[in-house]
């Protein structure tokens, strides 16, 4: 199964962003549907939190993974950099604090049963010149893709603004 979320990130400190959630092209009937996302604390050197409301429509298999990626608004993909954001998170049997927090609503175990779930993903945005170079003007698109093996379970993207000053 695969879940995907994408977002454009651009915010100022303490702002709460409620960006529109857009389903990835070609995924008309996802097993996992992301209904809403809000973003807080999107400032370099600060902890950002991405919270979501997710509807799981069918039992989700044994090893679902959340794949995260960034792009510029013009579509240019940014390289995966684990110093910026985790590139892949296990949605079951996670071992990191981020994985455990993200999957808390389904007790970090598989299979995930159908239902409505809340997700919470906090991580520290880097600071310094490398981070400013990576994010540019702060406008990025974040994609969230949920997969189980080669099967894509869900995929969305959102615009987010990151305060780079």
Cα angle at 40 between 58 and 90, to 5 degrees? 40
For 11-27, the pLDDT digits (tens) are 344 489 999 999 999 99
- Cα(28)–Cα(93) distance, rounded to whole angstroms? 29
Looking at residue 15, its pLDDT comes to: 81
118 vs 10: which has the higher pLDDT: 118
Name the pTM for this structure.
0.87
3-class state of residue 37 by DSSP: strand
Looking at residue 10, its pLDDT comes to: 38
Cβ(38)–Cβ(51) under 8 Å?
A: yes
The mean per-residue pLDDT over the stretch 50-76 comes to 94
Q: Which domains does the chain have, with CATH numbers?
A: 2-161 (2.70.220.10)
* Residues whose CB falls within 8 Å of the CB of residue 21, separated by 6 or more in sequence, listed in order: 5, 34, 35, 36, 37, 156, 157, 158
Among candidate residues 60, 34, 47, the one with its CA nearest the CA of residue 97: 47
For 100-145, the pLDDT digits (tens) are 999 999 999 999 999 999 999 998 899 999 999 989 999 999 999 9
For 32-55, the pLDDT digits (tens) are 999 999 999 999 999 999 999 999
3-class state of residue 43 by DSSP: strand
């Amino acid at each position: 199964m695969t879940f995907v979320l994408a977002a454009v990130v651009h915010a100022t400190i303490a702002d709460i962003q409620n960006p529109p959630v857009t389903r990835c092209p070609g995924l008309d009937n996802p097993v996992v549907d992301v209904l809403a996302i809000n973003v807080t604390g999107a400032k370099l050197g600060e902890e950002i939190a991405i919270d979501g409301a997710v509807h799981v429509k069918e039992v989700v298999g044994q090893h679902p993974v959340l794949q995260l990626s960034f792009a510029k608004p013009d579509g240019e993909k940014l390289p995966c950099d684990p110093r910026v954001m985790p590139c892949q998170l296990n949605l079951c049997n996670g071992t990191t604090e981020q994985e455990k927090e993200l999957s808390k609503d389904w007790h970090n175990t598989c299979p995930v049963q159908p239902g409505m779930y809340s997700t919470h993903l906090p991580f520290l945005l880097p600071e310094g010149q490398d981070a400013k170079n990576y994010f540019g003007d702060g406008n990025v698109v974040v994609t969230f893709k949920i997969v189980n093996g080669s099967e894509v379970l869900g995929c969305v993207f959102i615009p987010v603004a990151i305060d780079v000053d």
